[in-house]
Structure 1
Amino acid sequence: MRVQPELWGEDAQEFNPERWLESGSAKRGSSVGVYNNLLTFAGGVRACIGWRFAIYEVQAFLTELVSNFQFELVPEVERVRKTQAIVMVPTLEGEIEKGVQLPLRVSLAPRDE
């Protein structure tokens, strides 16, 4: 692996955990993707032209969910385990064959009028 002294400083090859405690110790490099270094929307000249719209849509959707519904854990949540798939997914202990599960009680949020 090639270490970049111009990015991490002259002591880039040395084990120095204190470097992460110092603010501004690493120089700001270029961004990988268009949104927080995630390649979800690709990057560079081939970046998704609708990435801002997609982010706004997800934010609007989450705002509606949180403001209109109430989410509560149920007793089965103690049996939830992380299972590795392509990404980590929640499954119930002993019921992996049923697939991804995250037991929640979802109800309409109370309205104060």
Structure 2
Amino acid sequence: MGRKSRFASSALEHAYAKFIGDDPERAAALEEEIANAEIGRQIYDLRTAAGLTQGELAKLVGTTASVISRLEDADYEGHSLGMLRRVAKALHQRIEIRFLPIQDATQPV
């Protein structure tokens, strides 16, 4: 029985091997980008589920729509815990922070 891949497809596994490989700096950069994209997606999903525009959420948070837009951008790297707490409060959510072990790309998940 073969090992279970951490990737959804063999194409994704091939791309990871080609562009990231065993380079820990590239792997860390990829993980950071994934985390930034996930935060932005979660804010967007919660805002739209609440039926709010970026401007409406901005008013509840005490900021501008452009700040909310940046927070929802997958490329944004400036998420502060204070701002995330304000967004969470406005959306009647709480923030959970967890420390997880770093996955070794060469080991199965």
> So what's the TM-score if we normalise by structure 2?
0.28
User: Bigger relative contact order, structure 1 or 2, given CA contacts below 8 A and separation 6+?
Assistant: 2
Structure index of larger Rg: 1
**TM-score normalised by length of structure 1:** 0.27
Structure richer in strand, relative to its length: 1
